[in-house]
Amino acid sequence: MTNSHITELHASDKERYSFEVNTPPSTLSRYSSVTSTLASNSLNTDYSRLTKAEKWIKRIKTRSSMIIELQRQASEIVNTEDTDSEKLFEREGGEEYMDDVIGRGSTDFSSMDSELVTWDGPDDPEHPRNWAARRKWIATVVVSSYTFVSPYSSSVISLGVSFIAEDFHIESAFTKALLVSIFVLAWAIGPMVLAPLSEMYGRRVMLNYSILVLLAFNFGCAFAQNTTQMLVFRFLAADGETVAGRFYVNLSRPIKLLLFHPMVYGLGSFMAFVYGILYLTVVTVPNVWSDVYGFDKGTSGLLFLPLALGYLMGISFWTWACDKYYSRCVVRNGGVSKPEFRLPMLVCSGGIIPLGLLWFGWSTEKHLHWIIPSIGLWLFGFGLIAAFQTIQSYLIHMNPLFAASSLGAASLFRSLFGFGFPLFANQMFARLNYGWGNTLCAIVALALGVPFPLFVVVYGEQMRLWANRRFEQDIATRRERNLQRLQALNEKEAQFVNQEKQ
């Protein structure tokens, strides 16, 4: 391997900049005759004006950069004795980062596109980090609106279940709960079929079309004539949303992480249980206000506001508290960050969530003033935000190499719980009443939310590094296979270009 100096043409201001890459001599010799062609075409070139040979040249150039990066990453994982990811992904101040390769959208090359286009240097105006503030805010608002649609569509029907049951003559409590939870079931299984579409057609295209799918099938729900049609349209509407909120690319790694990575299934269990309790609450709370307190359906809907207030206050408080505590721990540790610094707040949520459930359950059981169980709902929402923020931050930072897959595993797990819990909610409270039913949930939440997070705070670093090492070796093996495949394809296309030029 020799160092070669390749000059590129910047697409925005036509100024030349250069960077050094390690290029095999055999590959470099093929490129020497076509360097001028590459320099004369920016990344924004109209491909319709290029000859067939010129198109192949640009593809070879892109593949070559991928091969070099694959070689670097594979050797980095295989040859590094210390797999502590903080030493590889650190900025001054302790923030992990992945900016060492310009334009790398993902560290997983398993679904690589032959026409992948990277950013045209660190100052490329098309790179999202170089956008104007106004454009960043517009993009954030639009994507946040899409994100809002998802939970809203899943739970808003809970207030109308009684009306739907009257129209369709539904007597079964199981079927009533299924009207709400079938939406969440689609989040768990839909991406297994629909996720690859975003790789084929692009994420923005699928995001826009998914909202149209959601709209169309919600219209179908509005005009459904029976229970079966309502359930089918609800499921299909959620499938459209899974494309918009696609939570993983690789379908096998999230499942492996969920089954074999102790941090993912340990912390993911608490997140999944809390998510299940959330949807259990969505199904049962309207019954509490109408049956126990005698409120009409409109007033019962307004009494979801304490839960929403808990979310809003939780976002503000826990974001500030987590960042402050994390920064203090980093300073104490000599500027070196660790994902475990984020977990003490999770232990706090492991105490607040059971307290909220007990408060809500027993104040309802004793028929206390309606403001008392409302405070319990507020506490539950306040603690839930802490659990979600800390666990998701930890899963991202425990190893950036498979951050998306870790979140995907947790999302799959919690979606299954969100689907299943509402189905037995009414039967559980019918047998145990609201006091003991919520006590049971509080005990399980306490068992999942305190002991294991405390264990991870004390001993989690060693366990995390041990588990990460196993998965990093798997990634290195996969990248070696990708490297061999790309090199063979690169050789074949180089031969084609030479034949075309002759």
Give the pLDDT confidence of 228-271 residue by residue, as tens digits: 989 988 888 876 655 544 443 455 677 778 888 888 889 999 99
Under the banding of pLDDT at 50, 70 and 90, the label for residue 10 is very low
Quote the CA–CA distance of 45 and 63 in Å, as a whole number. Answer: 18
115 has pLDDT over 60 = no
Confidence check: pLDDT of 130 > 70: yes
Kindly report, residue by residue over 293-333, the tens digit of the pLDDT: 888 877 887 888 999 999 999 999 999 999 999 999 999 98
Top-confidence range, 73-82, 166-175, 430-439:
430-439
User: Exposed, middle or buried: residue 13 (CB in 10 Å: 0-12, 13-18, 19+)?
Assistant: exposed
Q: What is the pLDDT at residue 197?
A: 62
Among candidates 409, 432, 302, 295, which has minimal Cα distance to 357?
A: 432
Q: What is the pLDDT of residue 442?
A: 95
Which residues does residue 3 pair with via DSSP β-bridges, in sequence order?
Answer: 22
Residues of CATH 1.20.1250.20 domain(s) within the chain? 250-449
Q: Which of 483, 481, 471 is nearest to 69 (CA)?
A: 483
- Check: CB of residue 55 under 8 Å from CB of residue 47: yes
Residue 29 has pLDDT above 60, yes or no: no
CATH architecture of the domain with residue range 250-449:
Up-down Bundle (1.20)
2: which strand partners?
23
Of the pLDDT bands very low, low, confident and very high (cuts 50, 70, 90), residue 46 is: very low
- Whether pTM > 0.75 for this model: the answer is no
At 470 the pLDDT is 78
Give the containing element (helix H, strand E) for 419.
helix 403-449
**pLDDT of 1 strictly over 60:** no
**Residue of 63, 55, 40, 37 whose CA lies nearest to 116:** 63
Note the pLDDT of residue 25. Answer: 41
HSE-up of residue 208 (Cα within 13 Å, Cβ side): 4
pLDDT at 337: 86
- What would the mean pLDDT of 22-26 be, rounded to a whole number? 42
Q: Flag whether pLDDT at 369 surpasses 70.
A: yes
Residue 135 has pLDDT above 80, yes or no: yes
